[in-house]
Structure 1
Amino acid sequence: MIPTYKELCDFTCEVARSTGKYLSEERVNFDASKIESKGLHDLVSYVDKESEKRIVRALQAVLPESGFIAEEGTTKKRGERFNWVIDPLDGTTNFVQGVPVYAVSIGLLDGDELVLGVVYEVGRDECFYAWKGGGAFLNGEPIHVSDRNAMNDALLATGFPYSNFGLLDEYIAVLKWAIVEARGMRRMGSAAVDLSYVACGRFDAFWEYDLKSWDVAAGALILMEAGGTVTDFLGGKNYLFDKEIVASNTLLHGVLQHKIAELMK
C-alpha cells in the first residue's frame, strides 16, 4: 500500500535530518582538494554525491516504484507516477567556504503536481516541511507567510546569477528597483532556504533566474502550503522547469512579478 503524503513527509524529514548530520560531520574535516567543477562557478564535492546516494537509497526503500530527478545524477531512474526532486546540498559554495547556510532539499512529484516538500537547514537545525493540503511546518510548529502588503516594509531575497549572465543587465535593473523600493535585500546562497524563509515570514518575497527544479521544488510546495504564491516571471506556473521563479507572501506578488516581467521579459 502506498503511504499517505503525510507519512511520506514524516519519513522524508527523518532522511533529511540524517543527511544533515552527515553534512555537519563532513564539514568539520572537509577535504577541499576533492572539490570538482560542473561548470562556471558551479561546484560539486564528494559530500554532495554521497549525500545524494544516501537519500536515494532511503527514499527508494519507502516508495520502491518512485523515480528521481537528482542534481548529481547518481541515479537516472524515472517513475511512472512518483518522482523525487532532490538537492542533496543546496548551497554547496557556502558549505565549501564554511558559510553556515546550506540545506538538504527534497520534493515529491505525483504526476506533474508537487505534493511534498522538506528543507532541512543544517546550521540552525531547522526542518521546514509540508505536504499537499496539510499546511506548512517548522520543527513541528505551523508556519505562515507574512502579512506585509507595502513594498517599503518588505524584506526581499534574491540569488545572484553565477553561470548564466545573459540577463545580467536586466537582473541588475530589477535589483536596483528592489533596493530602492524595499526595506532591505538579502542573498543567502540557497534558494531552498530563501523559499523557506518566505514561508515562515522572515522574508516577504524572493526571485531568481537560472535555477533548476531541485533548487526550488521542496521550498515552493512549503511556501504555497504556508499561504504564499509561486510563479514564473510572467505569472504562470512554469517555475519548476523553466529556470525562473518569483515567490512571495501573495500580498506583494503582483507588484514584484509585474516589475520583473517589465524589466526582464
Structure 2
Amino acid sequence: MARSALMNVMVNAAMKAGKGLIRDFGEVENLQVSRKGPADFVTVSDKRAEKVVMDELMKARPTYSFLMEEGGEIKGTDGMHRWIIDPIDGTTNFMHAIPMFAVAIALERNDEIVSSVIYNPIMDELYTAEKGNGAWLNNRRLRVAGRKHMAEALISTGINSQGRALDALQLRQLAHITPAVVGIRRTGSISIDLAWLASGRLDGVWEAGLKPWDVAPGLLMVKEAGGFLTDFAGGNDAVAKGEVVAGNEIIQAELLKAVQAVK
C-alpha cells in the first residue's frame, strides 16, 4: 500500500507515541494493583504522548493549526489545515490496564477531514485512511460488513451512566435498541469502535457527548471503508455536535431510526 508523504508523517507520529505508551502500559499494570493507583501516572502519559505527536507533526508542517484533548487549540498560519489529536482514546481502559486504547490523529483541510490514523499499540493495529484512497488496517484494504438486517447486527455504544441527562437518554436508547440486534458491545474507545466498524468487526456504532478528537479520526475511516456516518439528526455535523450514528448504508439508516425514536 502506497502512502502519501503526509500520511507517513502521521503514521510515524502515532507509532512513536505508541512506543512510549507500550512502555507506560507496563507500569500502569503494576500501579493498577498498588495502593497509589495509576491516575497521576496516566495523566503524565497522556501529556507525554500528545507532545510526541505534536512535535512530530509540527516538525513536518509548522504552519498547521492544532486541536488537542490535553493541549487545547493552537492557531497556525496557513489558514487551511488543522491537526485534531487524541493521544489516548480510551484513557479509562489505559488506567485500568485494559489493552483497548488508541492514538488517534485526523487532518482537517478547509473544515473537511482528509486523512486519519488510529493506532492501537498493544494490538499493533494501525488503521489509516486518506480521502479517495480507502481505509486500511496495516496493509489490508477495509470494507464495512454487508449485513442487511438489524437482527444480525453487532452494535457498539458508549454510556458513562453518571446520572447526567445525556446518559439517561442513552440508557433509554440502549433499552430500545438491544432487543433488535444480535448484541451490544462497549469497548471504551470510540476511535476503536469506528475502526472496527470500518474493518467489519462491528456493524453499527452510536454515541453522543463526544469531542471533535473522538469523532474526526474515525469518521473518515468509516466513509473510506464504504460506510455512512451522521449526527443524530441524520446530518453531517457529527464532529461539531459530538454525535455519531454509523454503519453500512442499511444498518446506519435503521440504527438512526432507532436512535431518533427515543426521546
Unaligned runs of 5+ in 1: 37-42
Tell me the distance in 2 between the aligned counterparts of 1:61 and 1:11: 9
Matched, 1:177 2:176: yes
- After superposition, give the CA deviation of every residue in 1:146-177 in whole Å (9 maximum; x if it has no partner): 00010011000001136672123321121112
Matches within 5 A, 1:164-203: 165-203=164-202
> What code does the residue aligned with 2:60 have?
V
Counterpart residue number, 1:82: 81
Matches within 5 A, 1:45-56: 45-56=43-54
Counterpart residue number, 1:227: 226
Tell me the distance in 2 between the aligned counterparts of 1:70 and 1:125: 23
Counterpart residue number, 1:9: 7
CA RMSD, Structure 1 to Structure 2 (Å): 1.8
> What code does the residue aligned with 2:103 have?
V
| Distance 1:195-1:85 versus aligned 2 partners, 3 A rule | same
Could you say what secondary structure the match of 1:99 adopts? Answer: coil
Tell me the distance in 1 between the aligned counterparts of 2:161 and 2:53: 26
Tell me the distance in 2 between the aligned counterparts of 1:10 and 1:166: 42
Could you say what secondary structure the match of 1:56 adopts? Answer: helix
Counterpart residue number, 2:125: 126
The answer to whether the 8 A contact 2:13-2:53 is kept is yes
Matches within 5 A, 1:80-119: 80-119=79-118
Matched, 1:18 2:22: no
Given the two structures, how large is their TM-score scaled by the length of structure 2? 0.91
Matched, 1:257 2:256: yes
Matches within 5 A, 1:231-242: 231-242=230-241
The answer to whether the 8 A contact 1:145-1:227 is kept is yes
Tell me the distance in 2 between the aligned counterparts of 1:19 and 1:94: 17
> What code does the residue aligned with 1:71 have?
E
Counterpart residue number, 2:70: 72
Given the two structures, how large is their TM-score scaled by the length of structure 1? 0.91
Counterpart residue number, 1:60: 58
Tell me the distance in 2 between the aligned counterparts of 1:233 and 1:164: 21
Tell me the distance in 2 between the aligned counterparts of 1:227 and 1:176: 28
Counterpart residue number, 1:40: none
Q: Tell me the percent identity.
A: 35
Shift of 1:64: 1.4
The answer to whether the 8 A contact 1:117-1:129 is kept is yes
| Distance 1:110-1:164 versus aligned 2 partners, 3 A rule | farther
| Distance 1:183-1:143 versus aligned 2 partners, 3 A rule | same
What is the total number of aligned residue pairs between the two structures?
A: 254
Tell me the distance in 2 between the aligned counterparts of 1:118 and 1:162: 29
The answer to whether the 8 A contact 1:199-1:249 is kept is no
Counterpart residue number, 2:242: 243
Could you say what secondary structure the match of 2:238 adopts? Answer: coil
The answer to whether the 8 A contact 2:87-2:103 is kept is yes
- After superposition, give the CA deviation of every residue in 1:232-264 in whole Å (9 maximum; x if it has no partner): 001001100212111112221111112212214
Shift of 1:71: 0.3
The answer to whether the 8 A contact 2:145-2:203 is kept is yes
Tell me the distance in 1 between the aligned counterparts of 2:73 and 2:225: 31
